[in-house]
A and B are shown apart, each in its own frame.
Chain A
Amino acid sequence: MELRQKLAILADAAKYDASCASSGSRRRNDGTQLGDTTKIGICHSYTPDGRCVSLLKILLTNYCIYDCQFCVNRVTSDTPRARFTPAEVAHLTIEFYKRNYIEGLFLSSGIIRSVDYTMEQLIEVARLLRYQENFNGYIHLKTVPGASPELIERAGLVADRLSANVELPTQEDLDRLAPEKSRQQIEKTMQEMAGQILASGEEVRKHKSAPKFAPAGQSTQMIVGATASTDGQILQTADALYRRHRLRRVYYSAYSPIPHGDDRLPPEPPPLIREHRLYQSDWLIRFYGFGVNELTTAAEPNLSLEMDPKLSWALRNRDRFPVDLNKAPRELLLRIPGLGVRNVDRIIQIRRHQSIRLDDLAKLRAPMRRIRAFVITADHNPEALRIDRDDLAHRVVTPHVQLELFAAAGSARTGEV
């Protein structure tokens, strides 16, 4: 098969992986190499689906011996198949990189022959790039759950980031749709990676020249809406994974129907906005001090699609508002709907010199309609007096749906609320 044709099939098969990050790693170029990595990563292009193109994201092969029901590559699917040689992937990566099309490679694969064989093939590509091509750009390798610890160690030494996919929110979900996979095995692999990352970090701190193991850490991906698991359960799982294995990111990917899916799968995809709400909640838990139990309730185990999770939390907890922008501590400012971390820090900076008024908020480009009802400023703010009225939700929910559309585009990257 011609290289172009393989590229078409194996890029198409990779487009369901939500991760596109090329950040979190710092490789300096010693002057003889090709490439370096930067702290924040660069998006080199965007496709008309609004997603960024940062890495050459492909599968080594889309043959797979497993039968995960939600996956187009499963053994029982009749999708066209292809397989790259490791040298072909290395060649494409190098040539694209030299032309500044990409930041590096994100390589995944269906499982061929065995877990370890597959893992070896992935490592071989990265090895070729690092040692034969002198490539110093970003490499993200998928780790196949259950791969032997030696292979994981080798993978971490050539890759910037590793990721093992948790796939579905609960073990019951896996039992139903991915019978060959188990949470226990996936987490065992995550734990191994977490251990190596931690150990290597300590080594590097002691002596700079110690080999780095996956300097951009590990991430995972969870498919949302393929089973009945609630947002509450999904966030519980994410929160537990963050804490147990120190993941850098959990990616949420809205399930979409695939050809000839079987009756265990829902016929309709979940609304994409659900994905967005999960990213926002994820962000609130990691950077805004929210507890995972504050975002959903027993009565409403799913996030609201109409408004962002911080706003719905605020509407459930009106007794905590309005908050005085000129006096409140940082933790409380972070709870105000419409105020992001950056603006909170700016407000703290400004109020050392002058008191905060409504037009200062406007200059910080904060969404006034949402914020007004929840804050006290130095000037008169009549909205804050109406916090207890029943129509509050109506008054603060943004009337222009397209704002959400813009926000949603960046949500996988920033999740900023």
Chain B
Amino acid sequence: MYQLTTDRDFDRWRDLARQMLAGQISPPQILWLDREDEPSLLSNTALTPPVSSQPAAQTRVPREYLDLASKVACHRDPDRWNLLYRTLWRLTHGEPELLERVTDDDVYQLGAMERDVRRDRHKMTAFVRFRQVPAESGEEHFVAWHRPDHYIVRLTAPFFRGRFAAMRWTILTPDDSVAWDGHTLHFGPGVPQSQAPQADELESLWRTYYANIFNPARIKIAAMKKELPVRHWSTLPETQLIPDLLAEAPRRVEEMTRKSRENARPGSGPRSSGSARPGDAAAGDLYSASTSPETYASGLPAGKAATFPWTAEPFIPQSRSLKVLAEASKNCRGCDLCDIGSQVVFGEGPHDAMVMFVGEQPGDQEDRQGRPFVGPAGQLLDEVLQQVGIIRDECYVTNSVKHFKFEPRGTRRIHAKPSSREVSACQPWLVREIEVVRPQILVCLGSTAAQTLLGRDFRVTQRRGDVMKTEWSPWTMATIHPSALLRIPDEALRAKSRGEFEADLAKVAEQIAKLKAG
């Protein structure tokens, strides 16, 4: 077994690979690493490759492969070197036409990585934002901080050299940096964002442009996020406007709709084209009225009552970071509840929590504070958790539906049960949370959560406390929702149910102890 280090350098890999190939060392005999200091998984590895005496002609491969490989080498996946060597091996061992078989697993994988790198390079050319910094020489100097997904700085620097040849500029990223002095590109180590310049005067003019070229009547957030992934937002000066633009949009659209309705009022009679009324400052806004993204999607004529896609799917970014997901959920318009409560209430807790609790939906207090289980039901849950010895901060706590649903009664907001359409619309958020946290213990609180995850005909009353292995978690259980406990009028019955609730959570505590011990 050989352990080889590439230092993230394609040329070095190529040299090593050539020697390995010449020495007839097959792919499973080599472990390729990015860096020397990576923990080795193997004992007894030879660190130096055998020196070969074979002629170099044997390693002739298509140009196309080298091109592809040099791109794939920039991918962040540590397994890429192994994949590259394996395909190189196959190309030189009886499968010279391998690259044409694009559905072969290895070739497919290479193609997918090449696409990732290509997309990342393209995004870098698009999203680098230079900020002007004072330079001693009196010459203008521009500096940008950018966060690529892959190691693409060397690959992409020539683009910037070509375009900004007459400028002095520097691009900083967490892994590498590059500077252009008018003659040469200088590459250097990575730099944290905190060391980059923080502002540029022109940014506020740029934001003015961005805000005005946006048409509030055609909101398509999912489409935007697909092309402008949320992870890049922090380095783009214009994106800080997005929440405000979105918040303002319904009002602006409403104003437009109202005005064009006034316009189309029947019986107003034919007007001469010169009858414009004064006082319409926002006239430009009226251009395209009342076209919501929903009417776009379904192809319904605009002007009908708004319909929703009834799934949160298009609003969920690729990311596996709970922070990013929580941020993204604020813009969800998956169902009609998005316009009702004051904010979305996303789950809370460590991303590697052992235990996950899933409730029904946020209530009045949760809606006000933006955090799950902080109202009366949450307090009851805390109380019982403490009683059985479970630390809430170690658990991930969330709800099946992320928005509050209620009916106003005077000044009070009375909790209303979410419809099954709303529950199923919101389910993709929950599924993603489970995928990220991968809880070893999953507890459904109440029938909404139980039916969402365990099936329509699951009856909590009959099967509470049962431990099941499900697709969501090896140890899944459903129990009563604490707010249901609070609502039981009969005192004796309430006490009995509370006892059952406590017993169920005690079982959870037991399982935690078992897992922690073993």
Contacts and interface: CB of A to CB of B under 8 A. Distances in A.
Interface string A138-158: 000000000000000000000
Interface string B264-287: 100000111111111011011111
Interface stretch (A110-118, A231-239, A261-269): A261-269
Interface string A265-277: 0011111110000
Contact of B127 (A11, A44, A350, A360): A44
A14 interface: yes
Contacts of A49: 214-220, 224
A96 B281 CA distance: 28
| Size range of the chain A interface in the assembly | 35 or more
Interface in B277-313: 277-278, 280-281, 283-291, 293, 295-303, 309, 311, 313
Nearest to A32: B166
A269 B289 contact: yes
Interface string A54-86: 001110000000010100101011111000000
| Size range of the chain B interface in the assembly | 35 or more
A30 B166 CA distance: 9
Given A11-B209, A33-B165, A271-B302, A48 B288 contact: no
Interface in A1-57: 3-4, 7-9, 11-16, 28-36, 42-53, 56-57
Interface of B: 97, 100-103, 108, 122, 125-132, 140, 142, 144, 162-167, 200, 202, 204-206, 208-224, 226-228, 236, 238, 242, 245-246, 249, 259-260, 263-264, 270-278, 280-281, 283-291, 293, 295-303, 309, 311, 313-314
B81 to A, nearest CB: 24
B75 to A, nearest CB: 19
Interface string A333-372: 0000000000000100110111000011001100000000
Nearest 6 A-B pairs (CB), nearest first? Answer: A256-B288, A50-B220, A50-B223, A409-B223, A47-B214, A305-B299
Nearest to A275: B296
Given A79-B283, A96-B202, A48 B214 contact: yes
A338 B113 CA distance: 24
A306 B300 CA distance: 9
Interface in A378-415: 400-402, 404-406, 408-409
Contacts of B163: 29, 35-36
Contacts of B222: 50, 402, 405-406
A316 interface: no
A259 B283 contact: yes
Contact of B260 (A8, A259, A353, A360): A259
A406 B226 contact: yes
Interface string A308-326: 0000000000000000000
Given A45-B238, A99-B129, A406-B314, A72 B283 contact: yes
A392 to B, nearest CB: 20
A349 B100 contact: yes
Contacts of A13: 284
Contact of B286 (A42, A134, A258, A402): A258
Nearest to B160: A100
A416 to B, nearest CB: 15
A92 interface: yes
Contacts of B211: 8
A95 interface: yes
Interface string A151-171: 000000000000000000000
Given A48-B246, A98-B142, A257-B288, A402 B259 contact: no
A11 B220 CA distance: 20
Contacts of A263: 270-271
Contact of B205 (A3, A257, A262, A402): A3
A243 interface: no
A36 B163 CA distance: 5
Contacts of A76: 273-274, 276
A101 interface: yes
A206 interface: no
A386 B268 CA distance: 55
A277 B142 CA distance: 43
A99 B202 contact: yes
A317 B245 CA distance: 46
B79 to A, nearest CB: 19
Contact of A268 (B209, B227, B303): B303
B220 A409 contact: yes
Nearest to A29: B165
Nearest to A349: B100
A260 B284 CA distance: 11
Contact of B215 (A15, A100, A350): A15
Contacts of A258: 283, 286-287
B207 to A, nearest CB: 10
Nearest to A401: B297
B276 A31 contact: no
Nearest to A3: B205
Of A43, A78, A95, A254, the most chain B CB neighbours within 10 A belong to A78
Nearest to B246: A48
Given A47-B213, A305-B299, A405 B293 contact: yes
Contact of B284 (A72, A98, A306, A350): A72
A258 B103 CA distance: 51
B263 A15 contact: no
Of A364, A400, A402, the most chain B CB neighbours within 10 A belong to A402
Given A42-B125, A272-B218, A349-B102, A77 B223 contact: no
A42 B226 contact: no
Nearest to A260: B276
Contacts of B313: 400, 402
B287 A256 contact: yes
A8 B208 contact: yes
Contact of A408 (B127, B140, B223, B280): B223
A12 B164 contact: no
B289 A257 contact: yes
Given A273-B299, A402-B313, A406-B226, A353 B97 contact: yes
Contacts of B314: 402, 405-406
B260 A267 contact: yes
